[in-house]
Each structure stands twice: as C-alpha cells, then as structure tokens.
Amino acid sequence: MSMTMVASDGARQLLLGDEIVGRINRLGDISEAPEHLARIFLTPEHRAAADLILSWMRDAGMAAHLDAIGNVCGRYEGNRPGLPCLMLGSHYDTVRDAGKWDGPLGIITAISCVADLHKRGKRLPFAIEVVGFADEEGVRFASTLLGSRAVAGTFVESVLGGKDRAGITMREAMIAFGLDPDHIGAAARAPGELLAYVELHIEQGPVLEAKNLPVGVVTAIAGATRLAASLTGMAGHAGTVPMALRRDALTGAAECIVAIEEFCRTDPDGLVGTVGHIDAMPGATNVIPGHVSFTMDIRAPTDSHRRRAVADIVRRIEGIAKARALALQVDVTHENRTVPCAPWLKAQVAEAVAAEGFAVFELPSGAGHDGMAMIDIADVAMIFVRCRGGISHHPDEHVEAADADAGARVLLRLIENFRPREKAEPG
C-alpha cells in the first residue's frame, strides 16, 4: 500500500510525512531560548521534550516511560507480550543553535510507523521499541552517547563526576531532573531483548542530494582518529630575520595542512581529513611564529584504511617539519572504531528501499551516531534521509516533507517485513 495519496482537490498528501513535519516543528519549538534551538541534556526544555515524545508514544499505542538516564522508551508489543524487540530510535538532545531534524526525525518517524500499525491493529511476531536517546551530542558534559551507552550497558560511572560550564556535575543535574544517578544501571538492556537496532537519521552530508535520491542505505559509521600536532621553530623579529634564516612554525603548519588536504583529496575510497583548529604563538603581526599547534580529524569507512592513512599523514608532516628544521610533536587525542552495519540487516533495509520504488544507494556515515554504542548490544543498521545542501547542526537544516514521507515508508516496510537474524547452525 502506498502511503502517498492524491486528495480530491489534487493536493499531494503525505500521510506520514505531513504528520512527521508537524511534530518536528512542535519539538523544534522546545528550546532554551526562543531565538535559537538548543535542547541540552538534563535541562527543563530537555524534560519538556521528553514529556511530549512520551505522549506521542502513548498515542501510538505504546507503553512509554522515561528510563534511568532520561531516555524516552516506548514499547509496542508483538503478537504476544514479552517478545524480543526490533529497536528503533535516535536522540532528542541537540547542539547549540541546532536544526530541528538531527535526531528527532528518527524518533518521530519510528513513532509514526508504530502508530500506523496500531491504527490497523497489526501485531508482528516481535515487539517494537522506540527509544529517544537523552544525550548523543555530548554538549553539556565532556562525553557523548550517554543515553545509548546506558542502554548498551557500557555507561562509565566516572562521567557522573564531570562538570558542565556552570560547575554542575552530571550527578547533580540528574537529581535536579528527577533521576537517580545511582540507578543508571537499570537502563541497561540484556542482549537477548534486542533483535536489532535500526536508526533513521538525516544524512548530514550532500551525497543523496547530488544523487537525487530521498533515502540511502548506510554501510558503516566511519571511525575517527583525532590528533593534536605542535610545531616548534624560532620566534623572531619580522623585520630583522632574513627569510633564509627563519624557522617559521606557521608556514610549516600551512604546508602540513595543505599536504593533509592533498593526501585525503587523492584518496579514492572516502578518506576525509580536516584541520579545524590552529593556534599560532606568540600571535603578533610583527613576530615570526615560533610555536603552532593544530588539530587533525581523520575518518575513513574502514579502520585499516584510517590507520594506514593516519600513519602516512604523520610521515608526511614529519618530512615537512624536518625539511624546515621544526620540532614536531603529534599525539592521538581520540579514536573510535568503525561500526559496520550488519550485512543481513542492511540487506533488509535495501529490500525496503527497492520495494518503495527507490534506487538502492549505499553510503558510509561520516558523522557519529548512537549505533556506535548500540553495536555493543545488537546488530545495527541505518537509513539516511536527504537533507537540503547537506547542512546540519545549523538552523538551516531542512528536510522536504516528501523525503520525510519516503523515509517513513521505507522504515514501515522494513518493520513489516523484518526477519530476525537466523541463529547459527549448532555445531
């Protein structure tokens, strides 16, 4: 059954898409300030958003509750109570000055799909759970994926002592929100409760738009390595030190940055590298910079590819530093592994995409998602929905209602045709 119909007045009705857009707008109004969208973990507006999502879950026929870390959880039973679930979800926190779609689209779409089943009185041979994760962006405390880590049972208790910019610890913020920090363990699920985790999310990149496709099948969430580099040369007077005698750390850094771009640009397999921050010391117009530090963020669709690339890049900048008589220090500051989408589950997403009449197009996710934590407890797959200009984490973030509808149709078809992974043959 197609969910797109032509109304008698000729206007195109997007049965799921219109409802989704309406709810995206309602949730997008819940913010710390009216002039921009920010919904930060454990704030009053975060709580108001949770309550609204819980009410939508109940309207869709789900039993819904707030779990021990502040995730909103809805459960739609299968054809008998207590069956393992297909878990769907995304996050309901935002960055500061955010768009409305990053996170909520996955939650709201999943709720609309369940509501559609509920309206038809349809029960499946498994339960469906929808989770709105409380904190994915990690804006408030210096740790991300707090909601999904709690569900996966990998939440690290020491995070509770971390402070926000106002000096409030996560433990204190949880109590103020009405949660008990000593019971976060209660949010953890047993692996046998989950058949799979599927997340629908905006692409946050321009690839689907360039391909003229509303949806895409995610192959993997790319791992990332972040490094801090510092170059030390010799500061000196901008007027008195001849060019040939300089050891300018900033021109050395400039050469390194261009070399990193060049290296990534010529990689045929999706390597991306970014220098996003640089500091030059002493930072005066008339002084040759003696010391420069800069960051690197390197991502690739596989871990082996990324590690090889990081080693090559470090070798290149070592060569540049040596040629310019600069001292180089490089440290890895953060590393997370690539999370591959499970082939059996990805194949079912691709089937659903094809069955809705769209070309099946596979792409990696360059951004991190809750699946990075959920992989510890379940097989993971993702559906990407086209967003305008690839823009995200910005008020201009936008999804067309027709694309929201397409995403919902694919997700609904996936749910209705979902087959759990076949158990391995014994012996």
Residues near Zn ion, by CB under 5 A: 102-103
Minimum distance of Zn ion from residue 201's CB (angstroms): 6
Minimum distance of Zn ion from residue 102's CB (angstroms): 4
Residue type, 257: I
Nearer to Zn ion, 144 or 230 (CB): 144
Nearer to Zn ion, 3 or 383 (CB): 383
Helix (H, G, I), strand (E, B) or coil at 63: strand
Q: Residue with CB nearest Zn ion?
A: 102
Question: First-to-last CA distance in the chain?
Answer: 42
Six-digit token pair at 288?
């040759």
CA trace torsion 116, 218, 146, 32 (10° rounding): -70
Nearer to Zn ion, 94 or 230 (CB): 94
Minimum distance of Zn ion from residue 196's CB (angstroms): 19
Q: Are 134 and 91 in contact, with CB atoms under 8 Å apart?
A: yes
Nearer to Zn ion, 67 or 102 (CB): 102
Find out whether the peptide bond into 289 is cis, omega within 30 degrees of 0.
no
Nearer to Zn ion, 89 or 273 (CB): 89
Minimum distance of Zn ion from residue 202's CB (angstroms): 8
Minimum distance of Zn ion from residue 373's CB (angstroms): 13
On the CB side of 160, CA atoms within 13 Å amount to: 17
Report the phi/psi class of residue 389: left, alpha or beta, with left for phi > 0 and alpha for psi in -120 to 50: left
Give one DSSP letter per residue of 99-117, joined into a string: -SSTTHHHHHHHHHHHHHH
Minimum distance of Zn ion from residue 421's CB (angstroms): 26
Q: Cβ atoms within 10 A of the Cβ of 176, count?
A: 13
Tell me how far apart the alpha carbons of residues 31 and 51 are, in angstroms, rounded to a whole number: 14
Per DSSP, 87 falls in state E
The residues, any chain, with a CB within 8 Å of residue 424's CB and separated by 6 or more, are none
Nearer to Zn ion, 102 or 403 (CB): 102
Minimum distance of Zn ion from residue 372's CB (angstroms): 11
* Percent helix / strand / coil, the chain, rounded to 5: 35, 25, 40
Nearer to Zn ion, 84 or 89 (CB): 89
